[in-house]
């Protein structure tokens, strides 16, 4: 049985504004992928949710590349978005249709693994994902 640890972050220059996402994925304490991407014009919350979704999609891909049995893999996702964590854990309901749709997709990916736990961390503990998310926002900014 293995463990993926994911750090995610979303970035928006303005709210809404040029946005991006970033993530770092470790498997059994070894970094296996880092990534970022532009989201165009979006809010910070949309960027945070997109970061979680994209990172789970990439974790799914990595598990396939490593020929891992998904039902034996635990995932610990760390994010500085309290809203994302509380909605994922069912403590808050989403009134925003875009966020609710993204959250539904996140839950679909989560069901493929043995367990996906999402926890809130302080922003200063999320440096790599924060840096990468800002790179995504810069790409979005250059596209406008």
Average pLDDT of the segment spanning 40-56: 97
**Mean pLDDT of the region 76-94:** 95
CA dist 61 and 114 (Å) reads 16
Q: Is the pLDDT of residue 144 over 80?
A: no
What pLDDT shows up at residue 1? Answer: 73
Task: Outline where DSSP puts E strands in 16-122.
Answer: 17-27, 30-42, 73-79, 115-120
Pairing of strands 73-79, 115-120: parallel
Domains of the chain: 2-143 (3.30.420.10)
Sign of CA dihedral 116, 10, 50, 93: positive
The whole-chain average pLDDT of the chain stands at 96
Task: Report the pLDDT value the prediction gives residue 2, as an integer from 0 to 100.
Answer: 86
Torsion of CA 27, 29, 33, 36, to 10 degrees: 110
């Amino acid at each position: 049985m293995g463990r993926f640890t994911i750090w995610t972050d979303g970035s928006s220059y303005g709210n809404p504004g040029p946005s991006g996402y970033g993530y770092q994925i470790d498997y059994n304490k070894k970094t296996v992928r880092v990534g970022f991407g532009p989201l165009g014009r979006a809010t910070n919350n949309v960027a945070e949710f997109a970061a979680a979704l994209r990172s789970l999609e990439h974790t799914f891909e990595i598990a396939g590349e490593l020929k891992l049995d998904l039902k034996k893999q635990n995932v610990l996702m760390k994010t500085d978005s309290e809203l994302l964590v509380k909605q994922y854990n069912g403590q808050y309901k989403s009134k925003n249709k875009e966020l609710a749709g993204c959250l539904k997709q996140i839950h679909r990916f989560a069901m493929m693994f043995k367990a996906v736990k999402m926890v809130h961390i302080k922003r200063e503990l999320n440096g790599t994902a924060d840096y990468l998310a800002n790179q995504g926002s810069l790409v979005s900014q250059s596209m406008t």
